[in-house]
Amino acid sequence: MQEVQKFISDNKDRFLNELMDLLKIPSVSADPRYKEDVAKTATAVSESLSKAGCDMVRIYPTEGHPIVYGEHMINPDLPTVLVYGHYDVQPPDPLDLWDSPPFEPVIRKTDKHPQGAIFARGSCDDKGQMYMHVKAFEAMIRTNALPCNVKFMIEGEEEIGSGNLGTFCKQYSEMLSCDVVLISDTSIISNDTPSITVGLRGLSYVEVEVTGPNKDLHSGVYGGAVANPAQVLCDMIASLKDESKHITIPGFYDDVAIVSGEDRKAMNQAPFDKDEYMKSLGIEETMGEKGYTILEQTSIRPTLEVNGIWGGYIGEGAKTVLPSKAFAKISMRLVPNQQSDKITQLFKKHFESIAPAGVKVVVRPHHGGEAAVTPSDTPEYRAAAMAMKEAFGKDPIPVRGGGSIPIVALFEEVLNVKTVLMGFGLDSDDIHSPNEHYGLFNYYKGIETIPYFYKYYTQLKK
């Protein structure tokens, strides 16, 4: 192990420069204008896997963006770790809120990252975290320290719902067969409080369209008598939560898994400073479901959020108009036992039923995904905990996360394996936001921790 760690520290600068190069390619999966760049990134990832020491690397085209697969099999009797990650990134908009261009990575110091952080779209989510695995693998190969078989599946559609990955996993289930899936695409509590994510929320995402009059109208001539779809939409959305911030869609909570008082007590032991939380967000109070702590509201409870809302005149100055249409994009984060498709149907039925006379409502479902819980009494969890203990000098805390990685539930269904979510980002790294960044400490700590995971996992599985 000492040799692996020495190789890592001897190659720090190169590891960083290679990541910077990868961050320069704008692999925005949501926007068709970047299709070529997404493909270029897949090629770059596949080349990095070959160079690191994979003996079989392939790019699999899909109906959307390609999937990169690589493997290094040393002995079929040894355990196999499947590393999953994504090389696609979120759109960088709004561009004018970035302090430096999103695809020109630069290193700057921040309060949370006194050693510096790489500022670029995808630095933390997930190119930086994915690339730690490629470099840790390279270090193990070069020092003859790889103790088991490794497979890599790096996709290019995570940020748009992994629409083609399910089919791929089913089609290539034999090639992908493994003992555990290892993912770094989540966060730790802080740089001196390591944690392992043991749950992810599911997702149901819809777009709604409210239509009133058959054209935009003069808001003076017609206003007062004709339903204004922008206002109707606001009323309808407002009615989706009551004063306790409980969601009012009938049946919404029917399947919600109830977390025991004991488990809730345990999860609230995790360090959390509400004042610091509010200060970092520039808010004076939080707003969430009554009866639950912030940690619970953002992990074990489902929720509903408006992600975008538009309609009418939004240009310069004032225009007096009663719009014909208004729209919103609404997401619901789901918890174990809730089913994404069922929740989407419940939303659709309810939203259509509350439309007042005078408007028409259309609900269009987008992608979705199921929640996942990853148990902490397995060899893979223990190996991850031991690895983090070794690298950070502290036992990690198990934490249920609020985000979603829909493919995790699918791995369990299709490949019949559990996942370990050993992420190294911070919640404050501004993923999906302007000025996304990833700490150098976190990048190197991840590369350092991963070989320990392989070591302990192989020991525990023998």
Q: Which residues bind ligand BES (CB under 6 A)?
A: 125-126, 158-159, 161, 185-187, 200, 203, 367, 369, 401, 403-406
Query: Using the rule CB under 5 A, is 430 a contact of Mn ion?
Result: no
Position of minimal CB gap to ligand BES: 403
Q: Three-class SS of residue 334?
A: strand
Least Cβ distance, residue 134 to ligand BES (angstroms): 17
User: Would residue 158 show up in a list of annotated catalytic residues for this protein?
Assistant: yes
Spatial separation of the C-alpha atoms in residues 239 and 314, rounded to whole Å: 24
Neighbours of 39 (CB within 10 A): 17
Q: Which of 125, 158, 185, 436 is catalytic?
A: 158
User: Would residue 395 show up in a list of annotated catalytic residues for this protein?
Assistant: no
Least Cβ distance, residue 168 to ligand BES (angstroms): 16
Q: How many residues are present in the chain?
A: 462
With beta carbons less than 8 A apart as the criterion, state whether 110 and 180 touch.
no
Out of 18, 71, 88, 126, point to the residue binding Mn ion (CB under 5 A): 126
Q: Which stretch binds Mn ion (CB under 5 A): 177-185, 242-250, 339-347, 352-360?
A: 177-185
Go through 215-232 and write b for each residue having 16 or more CB atoms within 10 A of its CB, e for each that does not: ebbebeeeeeeebbbbbb
Query: Using the rule CB under 5 A, is 436 a contact of Mn ion?
Result: no
With beta carbons less than 8 A apart as the criterion, state whether 405 and 201 touch.
no
Spatial separation of the C-alpha atoms in residues 11 and 65, rounded to whole Å: 31
With beta carbons less than 8 A apart as the criterion, state whether 52 and 133 touch.
no
203 binds, among Mn ion, ligand BES, none (CB under 5 to 8 A by kind): ligand BES
Least Cβ distance, residue 49 to ligand BES (angstroms): 20
Least Cβ distance, residue 395 to ligand BES (angstroms): 20
Closer CB to ligand BES, residue 140 or residue 409? Answer: 409
Q: What angle in degrees, to the nearest 10, is found between the helix axes of 440-461 and 127-142?
A: 60
Closer CB to ligand BES, residue 158 or residue 436? Answer: 158
Least Cβ distance, residue 203 to ligand BES (angstroms): 5
Query: Using the rule CB under 5 A, is 157 a contact of Mn ion?
Result: no
Neighbours of 165 (CB within 10 A): 24
Closer CB to ligand BES, residue 127 or residue 348? Answer: 127
85 binds, among Mn ion, ligand BES, none (CB under 5 to 8 A by kind): none
Q: For residue 204, list its beta bridge partners.
A: 332, 368
Query: Using the rule CB under 5 A, is 185 a contact of Mn ion?
Result: yes
Sign of torsion over alpha carbons 94, 100, 106, 111: negative
**In 354-427, which residue ranges form alpha helices assigned H by DSSP?**
379-392, 407-410
Q: What is the set of active-site residues?
A: 88, 158
